[in-house]
Amino acid sequence: MLVSDFNYNLPPELIAQRPLPRRDDSRMMVLRRRESEIIHARFKDLPQYLGPGDVLVLNAIKVIPAKTWGKADRREVEFLFLEEKQKGLWEVLCRPAKRVKAGGKIFFSPGLEGEVAGMGPRGKRLLRFSSGDVSKELQEIGYAPLPPYIKRGKKDPGLREFDLKRYQTVFARREGAIAAPTAGLHFTPETMASLREKGVLIMTVNLEVGQATFQPVEAERVEDHRMLSEEYSIGASAARSINQAKKESRPVTAVGTTVVRALESAWRDGRLRSGSRSTDIFIHPGFKFQAVDRLLTNFHLPKSTLLMLVSGFAGRDLVLKAYSEAVRERYRFFSYGDCMLIL
């Protein structure tokens, strides 16, 4: 398969720059695979499509305010904190990267100063911090790590608190992500209460959304792409509930591609395993799904691994047909946009 097979045309004005005032006011395209049918609904209609005993699985990972600005040789640079490799040593992504040189000092705030300890490709650097609590400082000076297609004025103070709140699910618990599990952004406490009242079992897992989620595909052929690794964990209670549902042929609905990757990675010998592991699973057409029966997901970028995963779940032709209709119907795309429920 060619990566270009997963391209589509999207008018830039359909890329949502802000979420709707109410999370659950998003539109929801319902895609029935067996009938190749497309239905236009609202996210708040979700309980109508799930039944008693169904299992709904959420990614409860919490986004950290991982983006900030520092000064390298008195010139400003944007930094995205990717991962703490070891105590005081962080992998970061910076731009413009040419300003961040080996051995250079980076000043972030009076309480945080780092030194460039390693040089990597495509703007990656290793920063060593001999003092200061990086995670604590980011809570004070960091911004939501919005994807680049969401345009914000540099250090826009008016939107900082707004994005820190809205680029986060209402059920987020454990910190560790540098991108939001965006399918979960539509949920409200009221939605979750309605689902529980209907008898839907809501379970959570954690997948630390990292570089793998937004890593560009540079290969020409899909099969030649390699995913970066991400950490995930599944509790014993969630595993038991999902295994029992599968045994009784009750559907398991994954909220987002990150949940799909966690569940399918943990499926072994006909059952879901609990525990904490890493995964570099790459799901695309031809993959045999075993844990997930239904999928709620946002609309994804052309030629992205996320679109390939959705195409593997529902079929490339049907997905691209649905995306074309979403464009015609003026759906809102990507992280702050509308969603699709695949049945």
In a domain, 256, yes or no: yes
Angstrom distances, CA of residue 58 to CA of 3, 79, 104, 296, 318: 29, 29, 42, 10, 25
What CATH number did the domain enclosing 86 receive? 2.40.10.240
Phi, psi of 275 (to 5 degrees): 120, 180
Both 38 and 172 in one domain: the answer is yes
Both 217 and 72 in one domain: the answer is no
Low-confidence ranges of the chain (pLDDT < 50): none
Picking from 37, 18, 34, 36, the residue whose alpha carbon sits closest to that of residue 162 is 18
pLDDT tens column, 243-261: 999 999 999 999 999 999 9
In a domain, 37, yes or no: yes
In a domain, 154, yes or no: no
Q: Report the C-alpha dihedral over residues 210, 214, 216, 217, rounded to 10 degrees.
A: 80
Both 234 and 246 in one domain: the answer is yes
pLDDT at 73 (0 to 100): 87
Among 142, 176, 209, which residue terminates a domain?
Answer: 142
Both 243 and 105 in one domain: the answer is no
In a domain, 123, yes or no: yes
Both 293 and 213 in one domain: the answer is yes
pLDDT tens column, 54-96: 999 999 999 999 999 999 988 999 999 999 999 999 999 999 9
DSSP per-residue string spanning 230-288: EEEEE-HHHHHHHHHHHHTT--EEEESHHHHHHHHHHEETTEEPPEEEEE-----TT--
Which positions ≥6 away from 30 have C-beta within 8 Å? 38, 39, 40, 41, 49, 340, 341, 343
Both 268 and 328 in one domain: the answer is yes
In a domain, 156, yes or no: no
What number of residues does the chain have?
343
In a domain, 155, yes or no: no
Task: Dig out the tokens for 57 from the structure.
Answer: 């699985």
Among 142, 160, 181, which residue terminates a domain?
Answer: 142
In a domain, 159, yes or no: no
Both 59 and 89 in one domain: the answer is no
Domain tally for the chain?
2
Both 104 and 224 in one domain: the answer is no
pTM above 0.85, yes or no: yes
Among 142, 158, 176, which residue terminates a domain?
Answer: 142
Both 53 and 186 in one domain: the answer is yes
What CATH number did the domain enclosing 225 receive? 3.40.1780.10
Both 17 and 75 in one domain: the answer is no
Domain containing residue 57? 3-63+168-342
CA separation for the pair 175, 173 (Å, rounded): 7
pLDDT at 153 (0 to 100): 76
pLDDT at 191 (0 to 100): 97
Both 80 and 56 in one domain: the answer is no
In a domain, 21, yes or no: yes
Both 189 and 291 in one domain: the answer is yes
